[in-house]
Chain A
Amino acid sequence: NAGVTQTPKFRVLKTGQSMTLLCAQDMNHEYMYWYRQDPGMGLRLIHYSVGEGTTAKGEVPDGYNVSRLKKQNFLLGLESAAPSQTSVYFCASSLRTSGSTYNEQFFGPGTRLTVL
């Protein structure tokens, strides 16, 4: 199993350009997440999805859109990139919460995005 994979690994954009980050998981997880990590800030949740066709906002959703057309894929889009979106982006997935059992999140290797 590849686990959680992210494409691309690195990208440089100019202000105003758009792009889509792809996350794929092969663990049949229901939940998927997008985080960003900035220096001194830890990881912050951008958007998440509890199943195919459903998405919801996290802590820092502004400037991003997401789509979950297939269970195994979760796309993060930047319509008009800004320098403030320079960050490392991590995708994660987990099994559905069941009763009192908490299922940990599995993370991808990250995408380093620079917006000039």
Chain B
Amino acid sequence: DQQVKQNSPSLSVQEGRISILNCDYTNSMFDYFLWYKKYPAEGPTFLISISSIKDKNEDGRFTVFLNKSAKHLSLHIVPSQPGDSAVYFCAASKKTGANNLFFGTGTRLTVIP
């Protein structure tokens, strides 16, 4: 049973425009959410995170929004750059335990120059 879902397998955006990647979760016990970026033949790298006590976290061009009542989060990239082309994974964790992460299936972002 997939507890973290990314319903869009792929997304194409023009360079300079906004990229919006979405993620939904089902487990209300999740209290920390992360986005990872993955290039081919490499491991995922941490991008940005948000605690459940917040509804927004910003880091440069990247902003994550959390809507707890809807069990939904989104990653905004503004402006999008060709180097942002990668697979983006949403992940969630519970406060208890060993930081175990539950991953979504990923969204492949292509930024068109």
Contact = CB atoms under 8 A, between A and B. Distances in A.
A55 B33 CA distance: 24
B70 interface: no
Q: How large is the interface on B (under 10, 10 to 19, 20 to 34, 35 or more residues)?
A: 20 to 34
Given A102-B32, A102-B51, A103-B99, A42 B46 contact: no
Interface stretch (A13-21, A44-52, A68-76): A44-52
A109 B93 contact: no
A31 B93 CA distance: 14
Nearest to B5: A42
Contacts of B45: 107
Q: How large is the interface on A (under 10, 10 to 19, 20 to 34, 35 or more residues)?
A: 20 to 34
A110 B103 contact: no
Contact of B34 (A31, A42, A104): A104
Given A42-B2, A43-B101, A92-B43, 14 more contacts: A31-B98, A42-B4, A42-B6, A43-B44, A45-B102, A48-B98, A50-B98, A94-B99, A97-B95, A104-B49, A105-B101, A106-B46, A107-B36, A110-B43
30 contacts: A4-B43, A35-B103, A40-B105, A42-B4, A42-B89, A42-B103, A42-B105, A42-B106, A43-B44, A43-B91, A48-B100, A49-B98, A50-B98, A59-B102, A90-B44, A94-B99, A97-B99, A100-B51, A105-B46, A105-B99, A105-B101, A107-B36, A107-B43, A107-B44, A107-B45, A109-B41, A109-B42, A109-B43, A110-B41, A110-B42
